[in-house]
Amino acid sequence: MLFSCANSNAKKAGSSSPAQTEAAKPVKAKSYKLEVVAEYPHDVTSYTQGLFFQDGVMYESTGQYGSSTLRQVDLATGKVIKRQNFSEKYFVEGSVVLGDNLYVLTWMEKVAFIYDAKTLEYKSAKSYPREGWGITTDGKSLIASDGTSFLYFMDEGMNLTRRVQVKIGARAVPWLNELEYIDGKVWANVYMSDEIAIIDPATGFVEGVVDCSGLLPAELHTEDTDVLNGIAYNPQDGKIYLTGKNWPKLYEIKLVPIE
């Protein structure tokens, strides 16, 4: 039923974390649907890869060779406040702030860029050993995905400290994409699906599945409309926002349990 895009052809990233021993028992994932609270304009040319709030300001990183950007965005209007363009040789992916740094991943270029979190001034570039997909933080560690079923935990220097395999029951969940840390859990878009996994970062077990199908109405789809991707949580007011690649709308949502 769940994560229909997941399959055994995803790249293997090695054995799971010690957290997933016999002592860590799988849990039954709860099911949720969405309630749309409000909708906002979203730049339809934005191939959304990363989405997050920092100090009440929304940040978005967008992909595609030749049009990758990092931007501050006005939530109410969808207009860009500040923008950083990338060389056409880079395909930008997820982004996040931890400490004084804003981190931006690239897809296959094996480099991560680091900017000053307050000024967005370039600080450095670091070699990155995996494909860059999503990235978030629990306030202590960077937490990244690479399209496999693994989450990677890193320190501020981007040194790997641990990894955990994400599973629903006994089955691995590959294609983990954009990430967001919300109330102690990691929310992950599952690429090429309309589902979001809510993951316990200690064990990797999926504790909830959010059905986002139909979030963008069919009449707003065009030939450029791509998949659901982009989860942002504003800790200042507890609101959660979702969007997708080349979507014209961004939605504030609430979860509704499915009995």
pLDDT (tens digit per residue) in 32-47: 999 999 999 999 999 9
What's the CATH architecture for 24-257?
A: 6 Propeller (2.120)
From CA 109, how far away is CA 131, in angstroms rounded?
8
Q: What is the pLDDT of residue 24?
A: 67
**Longest distance between any two alpha carbons in the chain, whole Å:** 50
Q: Report pLDDT for 2.
A: 55
Picking from 81, 3, 10, 91, the residue whose alpha carbon sits closest to that of residue 47 is 91
Q: Which of 9-23, 61-75, 134-148 has the lowest mean pLDDT?
A: 9-23
- Locate 174 and state its tokens: 């590959």
Tens digits of per-residue pLDDT, 75-132?
999 999 999 999 999 999 999 999 999 999 999 999 999 999 988 999 999 999 999 9
Query: Which phi and psi (to 5°) does residue 20 adopt?
Result: -95, 55
More confident: 190 or 19: 190
Domain limits of the chain?
24-257
Rg of the chain's alpha carbons, rounded to an integer?
17
Mean pLDDT of all residues in the chain?
91
Residue 21: band (very low, low, confident or very high) from pLDDT cuts 50, 70, 90: very low
Q: How far is Cα 197 from Cα 187, in angstroms, rounded to an integer? A: 6
CA–CA dist 112, 59 (Å, integer): 17
Question: For the residues 143-170, what does the mean pLDDT come to?
Answer: 96
pLDDT score of 178: 96
Q: Is the pLDDT of residue 13 over 90?
A: no
pLDDT of residue 259: 77
Report the pLDDT value the prediction gives residue 26, as an integer from 0 to 100.
73
Q: How far is CA 185 from CA 11, 12, 202, in A?
A: 24, 24, 9
Quick: pLDDT tens for 202-223: 999 999 999 999 999 999 999 8
